[in-house]
Amino acid sequence: MSSKDIKELGWDELVPGACLFSFTEPVENVVDLTMDERPYAPTNSHEASVGDWRVEKPVYNRDLCIDCQFCWIFCPDISIISRDKKMIGIDYDHCKGCGICVEVCPTNPKSLLMFPEQTDNEEALASWPEKEKK
Amino acid sequence: MAEKMQLNEVEVWDGNMAAAQALRQAQIDVVAAYPITPSTPIVQNYSKFLADGYVDGEFIMVESEHGAMSGCVGAAAAGGRVATATSSQGFALMIEVLYQASGMRLPIVLTVVNRALAAPLNVNGDHSDMYLGRDAGWINLCSYNPQEAYDMTLMAFKIGEDLNVRLPVMVHQDGFLCSHTAQNVRPLQDEEAYGFIGEYKPVNSMLDVANPVTHGVQTEEDWHFEHKARQHNDLMNSVSTIKKVFAEFEKLTGRKYDLLHKYKMDDAEVAIVALGTTVESAEIAADRMREKGVKAGVLGIRVLRPFPFKEIQEALKNVKAIAAMDRSAPGGTFGMLFNEIGAAMLQSGKTPVLLNYIYGLGGRDTTIAHLTDIYEQLDRCAKSGKSEYPLQQFIGLRGPKLSFY
């Protein structure tokens, strides 16, 4: 696949069969590579921003997180960024704001909460709810 | 490795057995099939070959023809040599997936035993299913007898899998008239046949896990048009590969094929253009007309897609009256052959009389007498230099004569 944007390719430059490639080179050890180490091809969906239409976003509170990895497992868009089984943030280029991560978060209060898209993350963290009393 | 089958120099095979033997010799990785009359014996024979150890691949039993072609698409995208067979309603059920196969550029081989489309339900032969799939982006090869069904099926693999082509190929034969009529067939021995086709070379296969690939992606207006243009371009240009494979096959077997099958066309003044078993009947009718002093010829279409536009112009350039024979219910217009041959002749600058005959629907016999009648009509038109008959006539129909325009 050429490095040109796919929308600029002429008919004779396309790969026959409407094939899109994930990586620019063969990858034998993809499971050992983190997302930012992988040689993503321009045609890989990782290269496209699909979070543009989000109206609510999840905000993540490190102080409350127990690194259970539930959010990482359940996220349908691989938008939870995790390193060495530790939650470190959210990929806002791909998160569509579905709220599943918040739904599965088991802490009290939740360490992931949905806020309106325009809310500043610092502001969101400052307004975090207290632990519920039993 | 599969057992080799010892074949005689001459075997007595019907069209279905001939196609099944060609599939066996191609050593296919995956056949996904759902049997339907009259193509049932193809997959039935094939599964027996598999059970007896003559085939090394997988046979997938599916719930429908839609599932059969879907299984074929998946297996071909995964990187295997793949084939199946079908007819009529089953073919119609495959239609959606036929477009996936050609758009994804998967060289699947589909043996189509042509049969009428319901309603009314009918298991006998006509070309309604062939016409239904003619725009699906597949290469279409037509065989007129069991020997040709065998030869075309072998060549289909080599043509479709060529790296310049990578398109699926249909091989047509007439239901019952070819598929169930036993004739002498001269097969190749297994090693020779496999050697001719060659080992399968996967391209961008999904099982190549080091190079992950998404097949048949969503494109919308961004590059659907470009993609379809490339597919059409490669299909149109597959002619050179088809000719090359035909030439290699002739070298191996002495059996010569071309885009068109011409019979006494060199000096023909009247010609029948047809597909399927009718071509051979028309040859006999042409001989009888020649005894009466009429310069009659037959033009059989061997490669329906890509349509041999220029070759047809060349073959018919000196013909004064042409019968375009369409064995498919025309559905509110002229037959496909009439339209396409009409377009070719219009562009050639020649203006022969061109008549459209609708014949043999649902397995109705088309006899030498019918065909000589057609030649006599053509002869009269050729002599007067103008159309003396309605443009579209139904042949062999009970009741009052039916014609249009």
Give chain B as a 3 state SS string: CCCCCCCCCCEEECHHHHHHHHHHHCCCCEEEECCCCCCHHHHHHHHHHHHCCCCCCEEEECCCHHHHHHHHHHHHHHCCCEEEEECHHHHHHHHHHHHHHHHCCCCCEEEEEECCCCCCCCCCCCCHHHHHCCCCCCEEEECCCHHHHHHHHHHHHHHHHCCCCCCCEEEEEECCCCCCCCEEECCCCHHHHHHHHCCCCCCCCCCCCCCCEECCCCCHHHHHHHHHHHHHHHHHCHHHHHHHHHHHHHHHHCCCCCCEEEECCCCCCEEEEECCCHHHHHHHHHHHHHHCCCCEEEEEECEEECCCHHHHHHHCCCCCEEEEEECCCCCCCCCHHHHHHHHHHHHHCCCCEEEEEEECHHHCCCCHHHHHHHHHHHHHHHHHCCCCCCCEEEECCCCCCCEEC
Q: B6 or A9: whose pLDDT is higher?
A: B6
> Which chain B residues touch A26 with a CB distance below 8 Å?
210-211
pLDDT score of A3? 56
End-to-end Cα separation, chain A, in angstroms: 59
Note whether A21 contacts B211, CB cutoff 8 Å. Answer: yes
Q: How far apart are CA B118 and CA B405, in angstroms?
A: 27
- Tell me which chain B residue has its CA closest to the CA of residue A45: B214
Residue B393 in contact with residue B381, Cβ under 8 Å? Answer: no
pLDDT tens, residue order, chain B (405 aa): 689 999 999 999 999 999 999 999 999 999 999 999 999 999 999 999 999 999 999 999 999 999 999 999 999 999 999 999 999 999 999 999 999 999 999 999 999 999 999 999 999 999 999 999 999 999 999 999 999 999 999 999 999 999 999 999 999 999 999 999 999 999 999 999 999 999 999 999 999 999 999 998 888 888 899 999 999 999 999 999 999 999 999 999 999 999 999 999 999 999 999 999 999 999 999 999 999 999 999 999 999 999 999 999 999 999 999 999 999 999 999 999 999 999 999 999 989 999 999 999 999 999 999 999 999 999 999 999 999 999 999 999 999 999 999
Tell me the shortest Cα–Cα distance from B31 to chain A, in angstroms: 21
Mutate which: A5, A19, A23, vs B, most B CBs within 10 A: A19
Report yes or no: A6 at the B interface, CB cutoff 8 Å.
yes
> Which chain B residues touch A16 with a CB distance below 8 Å?
105, 166, 230-231, 234
Report yes or no: B207 at the A interface, CB cutoff 8 Å.
no
Note whether B213 contacts A19, CB cutoff 8 Å. Answer: yes
Mutate which: A14, A27, A28, vs B, most B CBs within 10 A: A14
Q: pLDDT tens across B252-286, in order?
A: 999 999 999 999 999 999 999 999 999 999 999 99
Q: pLDDT tens across A21-37, in order?
A: 999 999 888 888 887 88
Note whether A17 contacts B105, CB cutoff 8 Å. Answer: yes
Q: What contacts A60, CB < 8 A, 6 or more positions away?
A: A87, A89, A90, A111, A112
Note whether A9 contacts B223, CB cutoff 8 Å. Answer: yes
Q: How far apart are CA B81 and CA B202, in angstroms?
A: 8
Residue from the list B104, B203, B225 with its beta carbon closest to the beta carbon of A18 = B104
Residue from the list B166, B203, B216 with its beta carbon closest to the beta carbon of A18 = B216
R_g (Cα) of chain B, nearest Å: 21
pLDDT score of A31? 81
- Tell me which chain B residue has its CA closest to the CA of residue A18: B216
Mutate which: B223, B234, B238, vs A, most A CBs within 10 A: B223
> Which chain B residues touch A2 with a CB distance below 8 Å?
none
Report yes or no: A19 at the B interface, CB cutoff 8 Å.
yes
pLDDT score of B220? 87
Residue B145 in contact with residue B15, Cβ under 8 Å? Answer: yes
Nearest alpha-carbon partner for B161 in B107, B125, B84, B103: B107
Q: How far apart are CA B78 and CA B80, in angstroms?
A: 6
Note whether A22 contacts B222, CB cutoff 8 Å. Answer: no
pLDDT score of B125? 95
Give the dihedral sign, CA B161/B147/B369/B284.
positive
Q: pLDDT tens across A80-133, in order?
A: 999 889 999 999 999 999 999 999 999 999 999 999 999 999 999 999 998 888
Mean pLDDT of all residues in A34-48? 86
Residue B316 in contact with residue B299, Cβ under 8 Å? Answer: yes
